[in-house]
């Protein structure tokens, strides 16, 4: 099922729901910067096969969603959107437990969500999550430039070791080719919030990262793991894997790890 939902400020978010009959639990997938939820078809298919209902949405300003292109005005907008989709998923699946899974900027969004709204998810899974900005890919933040100025979406090295994935990303018309200064500065503000409020993160969490990630340093995940107050937390840094661990040639092993972890908790 594909549809549009209006978030709290009226922005229309593109939503896709794929569900098996009588799902064991619900997973909300939150995608990364400049991409869209359609790049997670394989992950959604695997989760459906294992009995999980999957909710996916395009961030505001991304993919098929409304809003100013690849732009955030305030740092909390992205986690507000996650919250709104989570509430929808919970209302449509009463009695079912819920996991929120975020990759890269989506991992940042999910970390902000779990920190700001403790108890709203039963478990969290993070992949290559930008939570500390050790790898200064966009230079020093915040950037002293107009919020509506745009800079290129340059992939760089260490995204994925599969050249077919890289080529498909480049040719994908729904992948944004530029990002705004407003978005980058909003992430900087959100990271400061995460640093100052790490103890508020209490949810069971599995933190995953590729050791050869060229976009987000694995140290981000290590620092997050060491600073949050979750009693049930796991950290796995995969040797040799790049940023997009769900698209690497060994992606099914990574997905197996996620499914095993989730089945023990929901």
Q: How confident is the model at residue 158 (pLDDT cuts 50, 70, 90)?
A: confident
Q: How confident is the model at residue 157 (pLDDT cuts 50, 70, 90)?
A: confident
Task: Tell me the per-residue pLDDT of 3-46, one tens digit each, with 9 for 90 and over.
Answer: 999 999 999 999 999 999 999 999 999 999 999 999 999 999 99
- Residue 248 in this model has a pLDDT that exceeds 70: yes
Q: Please, are residues 72 and 239 in contact by the beta-carbon 8 Å criterion?
A: no
Mean pLDDT of 115-138: 96
| Domain carrying residue 40 | 2-263
Output the six-digit token pair for 256. 């197996």
Q: Please, are residues 235 and 221 in contact by the beta-carbon 8 Å criterion?
A: yes
Active site residue 162: no
Of 65, 79, 104, 161, the active-site residue reads 104
Active site residue 243: yes
Coil, strand or helix at 252? helix
Q: How confident is the model at residue 85 (pLDDT cuts 50, 70, 90)?
A: very high
Q: How confident is the model at residue 155 (pLDDT cuts 50, 70, 90)?
A: low
Of 161, 213, 217, 220, the active-site residue reads 213
Output the six-digit token pair for 254. 């990574």
Alpha helices in 71-209 (DSSP H): 77-92, 105-116, 163-171, 181-196
Active site residue 135: no
Closest CA to 229 of 197, 261, 206: 197
Q: How confident is the model at residue 90 (pLDDT cuts 50, 70, 90)?
A: very high
Output the six-digit token pair for 65. 């969603």
d(CA 169, CA 29): 18
- What is the domain count for the chain? 1
pLDDT of 198 reads 98
Task: Tell me the per-residue pLDDT of 194-232, one tens digit each, with 9 for 90 and over.
Answer: 999 999 999 999 999 999 999 999 999 999 999 999 999
pLDDT of 156 reads 66
Of 36, 59, 62, 243, the active-site residue reads 243
pLDDT of 154 reads 76
Residue 121 maps to which CATH number? 3.40.50.1820
Torsion of CA 49, 112, 165, 40, to 10 degrees: 30
Cis amide leading into 142 (omega within 30): yes
């Amino acid at each position: 099922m594909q549809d549009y939902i209006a978030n709290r400020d009226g922005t229309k978010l593109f939503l896709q729901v794929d569900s098996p009959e009588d799902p064991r639990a619900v997973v909300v997938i939150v995608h990364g910067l400049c991409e869209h939820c359609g790049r997670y078809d394989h992950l959604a298919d695997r989760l459906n096969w294992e009995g999980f209902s999957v909710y996916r949405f395009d961030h505001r300003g991304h993919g098929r969603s409304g809003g100013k292109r690849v732009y955030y005005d305030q740092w909390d907008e992205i986690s507000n959107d996650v919250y709104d989709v989570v509430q929808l998923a919970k209302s449509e699946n009463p009695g079912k437990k819920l996991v929120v899974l975020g990759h890269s900027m989506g991992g940042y969004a999910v970390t902000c969500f779990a920190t700001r709204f403790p108890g709203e998810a039963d478990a969290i899974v993070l992949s290559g999550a930008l939570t500390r900005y050790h790898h200064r890919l966009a230079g020093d933040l915040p950037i002293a430039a107009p919020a509506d100025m745009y800079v290129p979406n340059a992939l760089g090295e260490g995204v994925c070791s599969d050249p077919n994935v890289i080529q498909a990303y480049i040719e994908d018309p729904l992948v944004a080719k530029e990002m705004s200064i407003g978005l980058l500065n909003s992430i900087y503000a959100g990271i400061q919030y995460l640093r100052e409020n790490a103890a508020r993160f209490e949810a069971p969490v599995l933190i995953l990262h590729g050791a050869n990630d060229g976009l987000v340093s694995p140290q981000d995940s290590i620092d997050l793991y060491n600073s949050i107050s979750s009693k049930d937390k796991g950290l796995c840094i995969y040797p040799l894997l790049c940023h997009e661990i769900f698209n690497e040639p060994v992606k099914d092993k990574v997905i197996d790890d996620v499914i095993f972890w989730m089945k023990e908790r929901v």
